[in-house]
């Protein structure tokens, strides 16, 4: 539970808390973003990507993001403060690793937040969206020395050459599991410790109130349409955060 500031509406509060906690988990607990760092946020126009970009920028990081469509590219280019570079991968012809290395002068990025990765060769991928995902080798290539790769890919498989490259770079791979704090009694104390040091939920609300966080929200959905909305979310067809209004 967290107190809602008067300036924040209920829909924004409900639609931002989860993405806010995910962003703090990825950028504070798993990678310690700080001024001067370069962060690559894959699919930055997604609800989570939007909050992650805004948090990274607020912490003083330089942000690069990928766009999966022209609409996503235009949305990201309108963000203020602007992202350093928007990489449009919608046509499948842009090399993400090459673009990131060019943007960082060949040094690579410090933190990568993926939105899934391509684990196999192109002919083995079935859906159009998976065709737009970077290959795991691209992520490893664009990581800088001491970099952090935060992945949402639960079936990630690293081969010995992948591990060797990560070893040479001194890089780390962490898994962003939304439910980790609820699943592990051992870690809940550490989570509470983080909340004591940095009141995450209150900070999320404060950033909403001061317009540092500007979430990607769809129009409020009435309760009788909740089932249809859930089906859309489960099929990964929702590009904005869905909020049910009673």
Are 35 and 154 found together in one domain?
yes
Q: Which residues contact 97 (CB under 8 A, 6 or more apart)?
A: 134, 138, 139, 141, 142
Residue 137 lies in a domain: yes
Residue 181 lies in a domain: no
What CATH number corresponds to the domain at position 44?
A: 3.40.50.720
What are the 10-residue block averages of pLDDT along the chain, 246 residues in total?
Answer: 87 91 90 93 94 95 94 93 92 88 94 88 54 87 95 91 95 87 59 59 89 90 89 84 88
Residue 86 DSSP SS3 = strand
- Joined together, the tokens standing for residue 213 give 């966080």
Residue 235 DSSP SS3 = coil
125, 118 contact by CB (below 8 A): yes
User: What is the pTM assigned to this prediction?
Assistant: 0.87
241, 42 contact by CB (below 8 A): no
Closest CA to 100 of 58, 144, 148, 130: 144
Residue located via tokens 């942000």: 63
Domain that holds residue 37: 8-119+126-173
Q: Which residues contact 225 (CB under 8 A, 6 or more apart)?
A: none
Strand 109-113 and strand 85-88: the pairing is unpaired
Are 137 and 241 found together in one domain?
no
Are 151 and 239 found together in one domain?
no
**In which element (H, E) is residue 66 found?**
strand 62-67
What is the total count of domains within the chain?
2
Residue 80 lies in a domain: yes
Please name every residue paired with 87 in a beta bridge, in sequence order, or none if there are none: 66
- Rounded-to-integer distance, Cα 86 and Cα 76, Å: 7
């Amino acid at each position: 539970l967290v107190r809602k500031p008067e300036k924040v509406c209920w829909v924004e509060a409900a639609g931002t808390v989860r993405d806010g906690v995910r962003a703090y988990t990825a950028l504070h607990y798993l990678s310690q973003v700080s001024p001067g760092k370069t962060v690559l946020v894959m699919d930055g126009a997604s609800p989570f990507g939007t909050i992650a970009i805004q948090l990274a920028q607020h912490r003083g990081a330089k942000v690069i993001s990928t766009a999966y469509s022209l609409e996503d590219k235009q949305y990201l280019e309108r963000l203020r403060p602007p992202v350093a570079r928007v990489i449009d991968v919608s046509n499948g012809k842009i090399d993400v690793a090459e673009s990131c290395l060019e943007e960082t002068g060949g040094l690579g990025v410090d933190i990568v937040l993926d939105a899934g990765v391509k684990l196999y060769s192109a002919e083995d991928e079935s859906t159009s969206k998976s065709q737009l995902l970077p290959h795991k080798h691209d992520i490893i290539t664009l990581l800088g020395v001491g970099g952090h790769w935060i992945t949402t890919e639960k079936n990630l498989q690293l081969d010995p050459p992948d591990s060797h490259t990560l070893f040479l770079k001194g890089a780390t791979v962490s898994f962003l599991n939304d439910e980790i704090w609820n699943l592990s009694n051992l870690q809940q104390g550490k989570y509470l410790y983080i909340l004591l040091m940095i009141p995450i939920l209150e900070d999320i609300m404060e950033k909403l109130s001061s317009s540092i966080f500007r979430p990607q929200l769809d129009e409020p959905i009435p309760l009788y349409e909740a089932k249809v909305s859930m089906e859309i979310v489960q099929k990964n067809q929702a590009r904005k955060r869905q909020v049910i209004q009673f």
